[in-house]
Each structure stands twice: as structure tokens, then as C-alpha cells.
Structure 1
Amino acid sequence: MLRERLAEAIARADDVERMLADPEFARDPKRFAELGREHHRLAAVVDAGRRLERVERELADARELAAADDPEMAAEARAEATRLEEELAALEQALKPLLIPRDPLDDRPAIVEVRAGTGGDEAALFAADLVRMYTRFIERRGWKVEPMGWSDGALGGVKEAVFKVLGDGAYGTLKWESGVHRVQRVPATEAQGRIHTSAATVAVLPEAEEIDLRIEDKDLRIDVFRSSGPGGQSVNTTDSAVRITHVPSGIVVSQQDQKSQLQNKLKAMEVLRARLLDRMLAERDAERARMRRTQVGTGDRSAKIRTYNFPQSRVTDHRIGLTLHDIGRVMDGDLMPLVDALALADVEERLSGD
């Protein structure tokens, strides 16, 4: 299957190169840009394919020499064959994600929603920890965070935090975080030293563009009200907060963090579009439906995807059975071991499903 996909990708690369040289395609800037991005992705596949062929030829030669009558030459050839076999396996592993068509949504900004779940004040504290974890991860990658909504909990916790992540491949990297995150630890409020279990939910949505879906004004109910909580001069003194209800779907979005009613309405519409796009994709896209069934990349908010066990310094991702024994690094934003493992599991599952 890997070799078949590689041959198809190389043939497609040739087709794309011909189309890019055709003046007809140059007259359509959007199509030309799409072909340019595809050519860039396929160039990496072609390069990896050439290296794979070279290593396979060298491996065949080494195996032939390993059968030589000269014991010293045969021993050297066997050692070289072992090295080449390892290199071949590594190249095949690196090729797998390159051969899976990239979801065009992966390059979009992500809208991340973190909410405290079961567990009272401890759940809110854990939600705040998750927000810090994601913020540090985002900073490490050189991305930017744009706050969109915030609701404080007790003791410095967070009831709800909504923020946009701006960066190359933000949604494609963070989409694996959607689901229920569970924490097991002794809360700061626990006098007896007992371990409690609490949870927070994370939703990662691709930023929706207006061309993705049409929202009719008649389908919206917009209410305005006075903001609550800390804020600037206009907050708490005017009816600047906005609540938008999308009647057909029942999705409700409230926004009160901005200074004006118009700004809050624009932010609320942005979140509403993202939630509607996420729902539409989940319902219509067979690939996402299959991903949800396997719970890799699931958007099912009821699915427990990960447990953070502080007493044992253990983080376990239940979708792929991966356990890391360094919770401090994970909570400090070192999420790439989890992200890479989940992405690879998705590639393996998609390849085996063909």
C-alpha cells in the first residue's frame, strides 16, 4: 500500500508540474496558488521517494555481498545491510504522513474553548492550568494568542476561556486536544490530603470563513445585556454584552469581553461560525466521522481523552494508550510528544483503512 501511494504521488507531482507550466492555470490566481501549495507538498514526497529507492538499491547490493566467500567482506556487508534496513524503516515511517492528503482546514487558525467540568473549584483550577499549558505550547511555536472570552472561577480558576490561535498549522496541530481532560491530584483546598478527580473540556475548532457557510439573519436571535465581572469603563455600565442564538441548531454564543456591543457581536459571530462549521464537518465529512469512531482526533466532547495524574507524574492519552512519566514538562507546554504520536496514529489508521 505504501509503494502504491508513493507511485500515485509521484505521478500526481508530474501532473501538477505540467499544470503549473500551463498559462491557462496562471490566469486563475486561486487555482494557481492551490497548485503551488500542492507542488510544495509533493516535492517532499518525491525527494523522500528518491532516497527510498537509493537505499533499497544499496540494501540489495549489501545483501548480495553478504553472501560472498570472503568472510571479512561478508561481515562488513551484513553490518551495512543492518544499517540500511534501519534507514529504510525510518524513511518509510517518515513517508507515511506525507502520503496522506492534508486537510485544507489544518492550515487555518484555531479557536480553542476550555471549560471547567465536574469537580467544582478544583475543575476551574485545572481549566486554568490547561489554559497556561496551551499558552506556553503556543509561545514555544512562535504562534500568537488572541483572547476572545474569559470567565473567572474561584481561587484563580477559570470557568471558561476562549481564544484564537494564529500560526502556521494551528488547527491541524491542536485539533487532537478536543475532548474531556481528567485530572487526579490533591486539590489546594483539600485539608486531608485526599486525591480528587476533576475534569475540564476542550474544544478546538477551525476558524470559519464566510464562504464556508451562509448564516441567515432570520436564523439568529440577538440579545444584549449588561456585562458582569471586571472590565473597562464601558463594561458593567452599558448593555454591551451580546448573546447570539442560532435558532436552527440551538447553538448559543455569549460575548462580553470587548468594550462595545459591535465588537462583542463580531467576536460572537466568529465563534458561532466556527462552531457551525465544526458541526457541519462532523455530520457531512466521512473522514471526520471515521476519526470520531476511532476517537483519534475526535470532537466528541463527552469522550475522556487524557488523564493527568499528578501523584504519579503521569499523563495518559487513552485514544492511543500512550503514557508519559513527566507531567511537569507536559503542563509546561511540551505537548509535541503527544501531538506527534496522535498524528502518527491517525496516519496509520487511515492507511490501514484503505
Structure 2
Amino acid sequence: MVELTELRARIASMAETLASFHQTLDVEGKKRRIAELEKKMGAPGFWDDPAAAHPLVEELSSLKKAVAEIEDLTARIEEQREFLELVAAEDDDSLREEFADEVRALADEVARFEILTLMSGENEHRNVILSIHAGAGGTESCDWVEMLLRMYVRWLETHGYEYERTHLLSGEEAGIKSVTLEVKGFYPYGHLRSEAGVHRLVRISPFDANARRHTSFASVDVIPIFDAVEVTIDEKDLVIDTYRAGGPGGQHVNKTESAVRITHLPTGIVVQCQNERSQTKNREIAMRELASRVQRYYEAQRDAELKALLGDRGEIAWGNQIRSYVLQPYTLVKDHRTGYEETDVRKVLDGGIDGFIEAYLRWRLERKTKN
């Protein structure tokens, strides 16, 4: 029989955990961002540019889901705390056991939600492009890509993600050489970034008449989808100087302060124009050039950020694998970064990769804390 003191302690522990989540996940900050986005969406003209509006709509949806889930868990814990007192007043073992099952189920939900607190990067909420490419191993590796695709699709469907296949190149004899999915949903990059790298398969080949053991490799890329860079230049970030043009251009150009120099303070970019006789025209031309240069500046920053996220993947072959899946002579899936392993390979290949995702998140957070 379940002791009420044990249930009371478990509920109190969950309440304490949820309270810490409020701070770790910056729930109040998320609420402020939700209010900010809703205000933007209510502004005239917001929906005139669907391409610009779409990323903000997706961000709002993701934020609302995170806040709603933590508030729902908090409310349910309070309900269980109140119901516990009713159970304590009843001398009914079956009711107590039923309530204990509900407490355990809620504790599992809280544990799953805890994974969000391990996602500390600013890009965790972003949708992703997930690509799988065959490596060393020929037909074997193409078949391995198809197996990995099935594994990820099963995981995506189980967890309610939307996905669209945007590219597929079939193998020459069997399987898939490369495939790309665009994934949308709840913190896709935060969950799937653990999968980026080389995956190794060891098994008895179904393509080998002599039934020999083969090793195959495939690489997985998980790339966050960034919003298009849209340059908004605030007048308060500009220093605008006018001066007399020094080159040829006629008496008016040389004797009036028609030339314009504009400095963009956040980036340090300086542009100038003195071609036209009109200061207004020179300013328009300079502003167009400034917008282009600032756009290029932020795109270069984005490229550098993406390169840092991807890192050096190396060759899709032996020695670079992040995870091994062994079907013969024993069964084991092991992540070589975290040391996490499972022996039920079929369960993993059917999409059961949550343990590997959580282990990676904890391992990454531990490394970040040490550094």
C-alpha cells in the first residue's frame, strides 16, 4: 500500500521543481515577449507581408505552448495537493492506489518537461532542416540512411512535429543517398541538435550472400532555420554629415554642402555620396547603400553563427561517429559523447531516441558549466 507521506513528499518535490522551472525558463520574460508579439500583430499593416509575419507567428505559438504547459503542470500539482487531503480522509485502498498512479504519471510529465530547462541556447526554439547523407559503405550506407529516416520520422510523429520532405535522392541499388526534412514544432532544434554527426551501423548485411558483418556510416545535419535578415535602420543610430563635394561636378556641386556621409553606429559602417547636386538625392543613394551593407554585415554574422553551430563534422567514416548502432554480434546503441547506451536496438530504430536526447542535453550543459 502506498504511504500518504510518500505521496505528499512527491507532490511537494514536483511543486518545488516547477517553481524552479519558472525562473530557469524565464516564464515572466516569455509572457512579456508574448505581449510584445501580440501588440505587433495587432498593428495596422502587420499582415501585409506574410513572409515577415510568419516567423513571428511561429515564435508566438512556441512561446505560448511553453508557458501554457508549465502553468498547466503547476495547476495540476495544486489540484493533486488538494485531492491528497480528500484521499487521506477516505479509508479506501483502491482510491489511494488510483491516486498514486496519477501522481506517478504527473511526475513523469514533469521529468519530461525538465528537458526544456536544459536548453539554454538562443536558437533552441527554431525550426530545423534535418538532412541525412550516406557515407562509406555504398549500398549498405544508403540502406542505413533509409533506416535513420524511418527512425526520425517515427520520433517526429510520436511527438507531434510537422515535417516536410524537401529533397530525396535514391540509392543506385537500394536505399537513399540523401534526404532532407524541414521540421516545425516545439523547440525542434533544442531536441534534435543531439543527432548531428556521423552515425555508425554494424550488422549482418542483407545484401551479402555470404551473410558477413558490415559497417555502414551516415551523417546527420541539423541546421536551425533563421528568419530572413530584414534591415531596419533607426535614425537615432545614424550620424549624418554634409560637406562640399571635392571632385568634378560643376560649380553647384563644389560650392554647396550637397555631399552626404552617413555613419551607422551599431556596426561602424560608413557610406558617402557626392554624385548628385541635391543633398536629398545624395542622402537617398547613401541610405540605399547603407541598407545593403548593413544587410551584408548581419548576414555574415549569421553565417559565422551557423558555422559555429555546425562545427567540423569530418569525414563520414570510421573514427568520426557520434553514435554506434550494433545489431551483430550483440545488440547495443551507444552515444560516444555522453556514454549513454541502450540494448534494445529495435526500440531505438523505431524512434525511441528520447534517452539519447536527454543525455546529450545534460552532457552539453555540464560541459558548458565546467567551461
1:206 and 2:223 correspond = yes
1:88 deviates by 2.7
Cα separation, 2, equivalents of 1:60 and 1:177: 42
Q: Which amino acid aligns with 1:5?
A: F
Task: State which of 28, 35, 46 in structure 2 corresponds to 1:11.
Answer: 28
The CA distance in 2 between the partners of 1:310 and 1:98, in whole Å, is: 35
Check 1:171–1:114 CA distance in 2 against 1; reply closer, same or farther (3 A cut): farther
Find the aligned partners of 1:300 and 1:344 in 2 and give their Cα distance: 26
> Which residue number corresponds to residue 134 of structure 2?
114
Q: Check the 8 A contact 1:180/1:304 in 2, yes or no.
A: yes
Which of 126, 148, 169 lines up with 2:140 in the alignment? 126
Indicate which of 22, 32, 38 corresponds to 2:59.
38
Residues in 2 aligned to 1:43 and 1:3: alpha-carbon distance in whole angstroms: 18
Task: After TM superposition, give the deviation of residue 89 of structure 1 in Å.
Answer: 0.6
Aligned to 2:37: 20
- Quick check: 2:203–2:214 contact (8 Å CA) kept in 1? yes
Shift of 1:202: 1.3
CA–CA separation in structure 1 for the residues paired with 2:188 and 2:343 = 24
What's the offset of the Cα at 1:108? 3.2
Distance in 2 (alpha carbons) for counterparts of 1:37 and 1:109? 16
Task: Spell out, residue by residue over 1:68-103, the C-alpha distance to the aligned partner (whole angstroms, 9 max, x if none).
Answer: 5x6x15x46643552342133123123224453673
Equivalent residue for 1:90, pick from 82, 90, 108: 108
Query: What is the rounded CA distance, in whole Å, between the counterparts of 1:205 and 1:79 in structure 2?
Result: 44
Deviations 1:83-140 (A, max 9, x none): 3421331231232244536736852333332111xxxxxx223202113324545777
Q: Structure 2 CA distance, aligned partners of 1:40 and 1:183? A: 41
Aligned with 1:309 (options 302, 327, 339): 327
* Partner residue in 2 for 1:337: 352
- CA distance in 1 between partners of 2:358 and 2:153 (Å): 24
- After superposition, the CA RMSD in angstroms is 4.6
CA contact (8 A) 2:165 2:179 kept: no
- How far apart, in 1, do the equivalents of 2:123 and 2:80 lie? 35
Asked whether the equivalents of residues 197 and 322 of structure 2 are also in contact (C-alpha less than 8 Å), the reply is: no
Out of 197, 200, 206, the position equivalent to 1:178 is 197
The answer on whether the counterparts of 2:134 and 2:218 sit within 8 Å (CA) in structure 1 is yes
CA offsets per residue over residues 232-275 of structure 1, 9 Å max, x none? Answer: xxxxxxxxxxxxxxxxxxxxxxxxxxxxxxxxxxxxxxxxxxxx
Cα distance in 1 for partners of 2:88, 2:222 equals 57
Q: Which letter does structure 2 place at the counterpart of 1:143?
A: E
Note the C-alpha offset of 1:324.
1.9
Which letter maps to 2:107? A
CA separation of 1:55 and 1:306: change in aligned 2, threshold 3 A: same
| 1:165 correspondence with 2:189 | no
Contact 1:59 1:85 in 2 (8 A): yes
Aligned AA (1:17) = I
Equivalent-residue separation in structure 2 for 1:197 and 1:279 (angstroms): 38
Number of residues of Structure 1 aligned to a counterpart in Structure 2 = 259
Residues 253-268 of structure 1: pairs in structure 2 closer than 5 A? none
Measure, in 2, the Cα distance between the counterparts of 1:350 and 1:207.
18
1:178 aligned partner, one-letter code: G
Question: Quick one: which amino acid aligns to residue 305 of structure 1?
Answer: R
Cα pair 1:180 1:303 within 8 Å, conserved: yes
1:300 and 1:92 map into 2 onto residues whose CA distance is: 39
Q: Secondary structure at the match of 2:352?
A: helix
Identity of aligned residues (%): 14
The residue matched to 1:103 in structure 2 has which SS? coil
Give ranges in structure 1 of 5+ residues lacking alignment.
117-122, 213-275, 293-297
- Letter matched to residue 70 of structure 2: G
Taking structure 1 as reference, are residues 323 and 300 closer, same or farther at Cα in structure 2, changes over 3 Å only?
Answer: farther
CA distance, structure 1, for counterparts of residue 323 and residue 201 of structure 2: 8
CA distance in 1, matches of 2:56, 2:116: 16
SS at match of 1:143: strand
Unmatched runs of 5 consecutive residues or more in structure 2:
1-16, 158-162, 230-299
Distance 1:350 1:34, change over 3 A: farther
| Distance (whole Å) between structure 2 residues aligned to residue 112 and residue 125 of structure 1 | 15
Aligned partners of 1:345, 1:45: CA distance in 2, in Å?
21
Separation of aligned partners in 2, 1:20 and 1:143: 27
Please say if residues 110 and 165 of structure 1, whose CA atoms lie closer than 8 Å, have aligned partners that are also in contact: yes
Q: Structure 1's 126 and 304: CA in aligned 2 closer, same or farther, altered over 3 A?
A: farther
| 1:109 match: secondary structure | strand
* CA–CA distance in structure 2, aligned partners of residues 181 and 278 of structure 1: 31
Q: 1:168 to 1:18 in 2, by over 3 A?
A: closer
Give 1:211 deviation, angstroms.
6.6
